[in-house]
Amino acid sequence: MEKTNFNQKTTHEKGRADWLRDVDAKPKTRIVWGTILVLAVLPFIISAPLAAEILIWGIFGLGFNLLLGYTGVLSFGHAAYFGLGAYCCGLALRYWHVSLWVALLLGVVASVLLACFIGALAIRRRGVYFAMISLAFGQMLYFLALSPLKHITRGEDGLTHIPVIHLFSFSLNKPLPLYYFVFVIMSGLLYLTFRILHSPFGKLLQAYRENEERARACGFNTTLVKFFSLVLSAFYAGLAGALNTIYLGYVPLTTLFWLTSGTMVMMTILGGKGTFLGPLVGVGVFLFLQNTISLFTPRWELFVGTIFVFIILLFPGGIMGTLREKYAGYQMSKLKKRSTLS
Amino acid sequence: MYLRTEKVSKHFGGLKAVDEVDFHLRQGQLKSIIGPNGAGKTTLFNLIAGVYPPTSGKVFFRDKEITHLSLHETSRLGITKTYQITHIFPSLTVFENVRIAAQSRVTSFNFWRSTHSLREVNERTLEILEQVELVEKRSWLASTLSHGERRYLEIGIALATRPEVLLLDEPTAGMSCAETNLCAELIQKLNKNLQLTIVLVEHDMTVVMGISDEVLVLNEGKVLAEGTPQQVSDNEEVQRVYLGER
Amino acid sequence: MIFDVPWNVIVLQIFFGLALGSIYVLLASGLSIIYGLLDVVNFAHGTFAMLGAYAVFLAVSMADSFLVGLLSAIVIVGLIGGVTEYFLLKPLYGKDPLLPLLLTFGLSVAIPDLIKIIFGLIGKPVNYPEALSGATVVGPLILSNYRLFIIFFTLAIMISLWLFLKKSDLGMIIRASTRDSLMVQVLGVNVSRIWTIGFAIGIGLAALAGAISVPMMAATPDMGVDMTMVAFVVTVVGGLGSLGGAIVGGLFIGLVVAMTSFIAGEYATVSMYFCMAVILLIRPRGLFGEIGRE
């Protein structure tokens, strides 16, 4: 790279710098700091247990959104990664008496390996076909845990008697200490996700979503892109599952159930797929709705399902997505006005 | 011979889309492929670019065989193709559309570094946008561009991958007369100033006759004639096939 | 005797497998028609099967007739399907292809809960219809009449379906509307209506599957999920969009599940997913699928 003498920049180069500023400003991390700030005080705004749930599912959602929102790939069996992470962490804690960090690591590694396996089998399958296959694999894991592997997973009862973890003399099965433990992890993940999205890889994910064939014509191995995206999302899911085990102190079989996968899909779409805050917003709204409706009736699925149907019909961009569209529309009309005036 | 095919064929079921075609291209040439609809022009492009493998025959680039390389592999070697129907990234900005292509030669899976720091890539993207005259609309979403502008963007994306050989599939499709002339000028500029070897599939005869060094005529998957624009337009068989065309 | 198992027991398992498979065939063929015609993967397919089961329950408790139950399953649930397509799916055509899948998913979450409100959480059993109860004895084999009914009934339905699609005017239009609906529109056929009818037919088949399985398993609100899963697995094995694949795949999976149920009961459900994984490895497009569809 040539060094430019700043005092003698040609008008041409100066124009270039201006142009670049328009389209490729340095990414502003204030959205990350702002979110972290809000999350820091969340347990004091809403109940601590709800906040903890939101945070854990939020981690799940952050990764899932990378796959669904940014790469454009729908997986209906992500509970497999969440549940496997949960079970491995629980098993390690209960039978091998490992430390907290080793247990978390095991959960994550297990999920990532599973994603590599499923990816190797199914990654080349397109769109809806991939969704169906991922769902079937998720179900396979569920039924394996339910019956044949009952001696390991304890089947329907779930894995219980997991020792309580203590960190700095705080018990992590209490909502508030757990919340701040997960909060630290979440903050790190928020920053990581932000960097990923603004990196060459992050842009590549979006190009894949917009037009896979063209991305391939540019020279990218799009199969690998899809594969990495899947594995990355499994990383987040496995971590969330493991954290869930730490929090609950046990592993329910439902962590592998299809409704868990489906719930994640609904949360992501509700919040707005393909937006940075979408998953968190979606998780928050969904869990809040679920909690509130459950006070009146156990039939919260009816309401949430119906709301979801309407979202798909009227606002497929979700909450953040619709907001972003409005904002982008406003920006475009400003740009158009500027170019017609000049 | 820079790029050539040797008796290359592509059968789709019973249909012989391309039938034992020998194609020759010298470095720096601007060569056009013409022929009636269904003559196999796009199929030939796809065979060269590696969208699908030929049923029989071979493809050579710089004397190395590339017959069974896939689309992204040939792109890496320097053969880039554009699409008959515009294939862009709709909800990304014009700038992003070209930048992602420019990025392909530098990095793929780096997930930590911000694209903002890829100064060379970004500057090169602007250069290309200048060449295809889309710099003013760099922040616009690609989906908001007019048809002609999209065709230019299509070319811009292709240029960003630093091609050695550019396969342009009907770049002036759907353009007005004025736009077509400008596009033809652009293609000529790319060929002469950037020393880009270009292969053109075109229906517009004035473009073909005006800027090509050589013309290949395909009909029903087979080579009908090959030569300079003048030779081809004087060829009686070609005139027969194109009866009614200008 | 094979592996210390008397051969008549093996034949009996095969018989069970065919009966089970027949239900799978009905499910998968409905899904296939909907996918082939509309490019929609109907996540709520099992949910509509469940509605068919409840339709039979209602008909039997009100009119004491299983036959009325079957008919009402097809007609009423089919109508519900048509209405669903018209109001909920049609607005999504031409947009993101994942949207219809997601919408049907939403339905698969909401509708079972609605059924729980109306009918309660406990399953509703339905007795075997008089005429079809009991068993037929063939040599050392005791074949339950109801299962015989399932097999032959499904055969009859499939043959009628084949005749309808291949020979009737409406059937031919439906087949033509899948690939080149532009052509059909030019010829002056209201494609939109064809799509609604096609969807209703697919749903009707699902409802039928639910209806005929009711005497064997009782109508429960959550029975739909497993049925959707089976339909998916059979479709992957048989080939997406292929009716022949739905038939062969359905029978095959039925046999696999029955055999596994007999040999190692715990693995019965897992076995079908295993088959799916194997097919994905060695022949991703399915037994009868076309390349490019996957």
* DSSP string of B110-146, one letter each residue: --SS-GGG-HHHHHHHHHHHHHTT-GGGTTSBGGGS-
- Maximum Cα interatomic distance, chain A, rounded to a whole number of Å: 76
Distance, CA of C256 to CA of A143 (rounded, Å): 16
> Average pLDDT in the B230-241 region?
82
Which among B69, B70, B71, B118 is the top mutation candidate for probing chain A, defined by the most A β-carbons within 10 Å of its own β-carbon?
B71
What is the band of C189 on the pLDDT scale with cuts at 50, 70, 90? low
Distance, CA of B69 to CA of B60 (rounded, Å): 11
* Residue B210: how many other CB atoms lie within 10 Å: 14
What is the band of C181 on the pLDDT scale with cuts at 50, 70, 90? low
Distance, CA of A273 to CA of A266 (rounded, Å): 10
Is C27 touching A (CB cutoff 8 A)? no
In the predicted structure, residue B244 carries a pLDDT above the cut 60:
no
What is the band of C185 on the pLDDT scale with cuts at 50, 70, 90? low
Q: How many helices (H) and strands (E) does chain A have?
A: 15, 2
Distance, CA of C186 to CA of C180 (rounded, Å): 10
- CB-based contact B89 A207, cutoff 8 Å: yes
Which residues does chain A have within 8 Å of residue C277's beta carbon, measured at their own beta carbons? Answer: 121, 137, 140
Residue of A nearest to B103 (CA): A200
Which residues does chain B have within 8 Å of residue A24's beta carbon, measured at their own beta carbons? Answer: 95, 99, 115-116, 122
pLDDT: is C239 or C52 the higher one?
C52
Percent of chain C with pLDDT over 70: 93
* A262 closest CB neighbour out of C109, C113, C233: C109
Which chains neighbour C (Cβ–Cβ under 8 Å, 3 or more pairs)?
A
**How far A74 CA sits from the closest chain C CA (Å)?**
8
Strand partners, B2: none
Q: Tell me, letter by letter, the H, E, C secondary structure of B61-93.
A: ECCEECCCCCHHHHHHHCEEECCCCCCCCCCCE
> Average pLDDT in the A236-265 region?
92
Least confident span in A16-30, B52-66, C214-228, C239-253: A16-30
Question: The tokens of B113 are what?
Answer: 């570094």
Phi, psi of B245 (to 5 degrees): -85, 155
* Predicted pLDDT at C293: 47
Distance, CA of C30 to CA of C167 (rounded, Å): 19
**How far B80 CA sits from the closest chain A CA (Å)?**
7
In the predicted structure, residue C284 carries a pLDDT above the cut 90:
no
What is the band of A2 on the pLDDT scale with cuts at 50, 70, 90? very low
Distance, CA of A289 to CA of A297 (rounded, Å): 12
User: Residue length, chain C?
Assistant: 294
Tokens 């990218």 -> residue: A220
Is C116 touching A (CB cutoff 8 A)? yes
- CB-based contact A148 C113, cutoff 8 Å: no
* Most confidently predicted of A18-27, A308-317, B168-177: A308-317
Which residues does chain B have within 8 Å of residue A204's beta carbon, measured at their own beta carbons? Answer: 100, 103, 108-109
Query: Does the ipTM surpass 0.90?
Result: no
- CB-based contact B140 A335, cutoff 8 Å: yes
State how far the alpha carbon of A303 is from the alpha carbons of A200, A289, A298, A317, C121, in Å.
40, 9, 10, 19, 17
Which among B87, B98, B115 is the top mutation candidate for probing chain A, defined by the most A β-carbons within 10 Å of its own β-carbon?
B115
Please say whether the beta carbons of A77 and A256 come within 8 A: no
In the predicted structure, residue A324 carries a pLDDT above the cut 50:
yes
* Predicted pLDDT at A6: 43
Strand partners, C135: C144
In the predicted structure, residue A158 carries a pLDDT above the cut 90:
no
* B110 closest CB neighbour out of A1, A200, A332: A200
- CB-based contact A203 B99, cutoff 8 Å: yes
The domains found in chain B, sorted by start residue, are 1-78+164-246 (3.40.50.300), 89-162 (no CATH)
Residue of A nearest to C108 (CA): A305
* A133 closest CB neighbour out of C88, C113, C280: C280
> Average pLDDT in the A38-43 region?
90
Across chain A, mean pLDDT equals: 87
* CB neighbour list of residue A282: distance below 8 Å, 6 or more residues apart: A61, A266, A267, A268, A269, A270, A271, A272, A318, A319
Strand, coil or helix: what is B199? strand
* A touches C, CB cut-off 8 Å, minimum 3 pairs: yes
- CB-based contact B116 A24, cutoff 8 Å: yes
Which residues does chain C have within 8 Å of residue A133's beta carbon, measured at their own beta carbons? Answer: 236, 276, 280
Distance, CA of B146 to CA of B141 (rounded, Å): 11
What is the band of A252 on the pLDDT scale with cuts at 50, 70, 90? very high
Closest CA to B196 of B27, B7, B58: B27
* Predicted pLDDT at A9: 44
- CB-based contact B115 A228, cutoff 8 Å: no
**How far B173 CA sits from the closest chain A CA (Å)?**
19
At B96, which amino acid appears?
Answer: E
What is the band of C97 on the pLDDT scale with cuts at 50, 70, 90? confident
Task: List, for residues B145-180, the tens digit of each pLDDT value.
Answer: 888 888 889 889 999 988 889 999 888 888 888 888
Question: The tokens of C282 are what?
Answer: 């060695």
Is A131 touching C (CB cutoff 8 A)? yes
In the predicted structure, residue C120 carries a pLDDT above the cut 60:
yes
Which chains neighbour A (Cβ–Cβ under 8 Å, 3 or more pairs)?
B, C
The alpha carbon of A267 is separated from its chain's Cα centroid by a whole number of angstroms, namely 10
What is the 8-class DSSP label of residue A148?
Answer: T
* Residue A83: how many other CB atoms lie within 10 Å: 31
* Residue C278: how many other CB atoms lie within 10 Å: 12
Least confident span in A50-59, C97-106, C120-129: C120-129
Strand partners, B24: B4
Please say whether the beta carbons of B160 and B97 come within 8 A: no
CB pairs under 8 A between A and C: 116
Strands (E), B164-204: 165-169, 197-201
- CB-based contact B139 A22, cutoff 8 Å: yes
> Average pLDDT in the A18-31 region?
76
What is the band of C209 on the pLDDT scale with cuts at 50, 70, 90? very high
- CB-based contact A147 C269, cutoff 8 Å: yes
Is A244 touching C (CB cutoff 8 A)? no
Is A293 touching C (CB cutoff 8 A)? no
pLDDT: is C12 or C173 the higher one?
C12
Strand, coil or helix: what is B21? strand
What is the band of C78 on the pLDDT scale with cuts at 50, 70, 90? very high
Please say whether the beta carbons of C165 and C171 come within 8 A: yes
Percent of chain C with pLDDT over 90: 39
Strand, coil or helix: what is B17? strand
**Structural domain boundaries of chain A?**
48-273, 284-331
Strand, coil or helix: what is B223? strand
- CB-based contact A309 C106, cutoff 8 Å: yes
* Predicted pLDDT at A11: 52
What is the band of C292 on the pLDDT scale with cuts at 50, 70, 90? low
Residue of A nearest to B135 (CA): A19
Distance, CA of B68 to CA of B64 (rounded, Å): 12
What is the band of C63 on the pLDDT scale with cuts at 50, 70, 90? confident
Residue of A nearest to B121 (CA): A200
In the predicted structure, residue C204 carries a pLDDT above the cut 80:
yes
At C85, which amino acid appears?
Answer: E
Q: Tell me, letter by letter, the H, E, C secondary structure of chain C.
A: CECCECHHHHHHHHHHHHHHHHHHHHHHHHHHHHHHHHCCCCCCHHHHHHHHHHHHHHHHHHHCCHHHHHHHHHHHHHHHHHHHHHHHHHHHCCCCCHHHHHHHHHHHHHHHHHHHHHHCCCCECCCCCHHHCCEEEECCEEEEHHHHHHHHHHHHHHHHHHHHHHHCHHHHHHHHHHHCHHHHHHCCCCHHHHHHHHHHHHHHHHHHHHHHHHHHHCECCCHHHHHHHHHHHHHHHHCCCCHHHHHHHHHHHHHHHHHHHHHCHHHHHHHHHHHHHHHHHHCCCCCCCCCCCC
* Predicted pLDDT at A1: 41
What is the band of A183 on the pLDDT scale with cuts at 50, 70, 90? very high
**How far B76 CA sits from the closest chain A CA (Å)?**
5
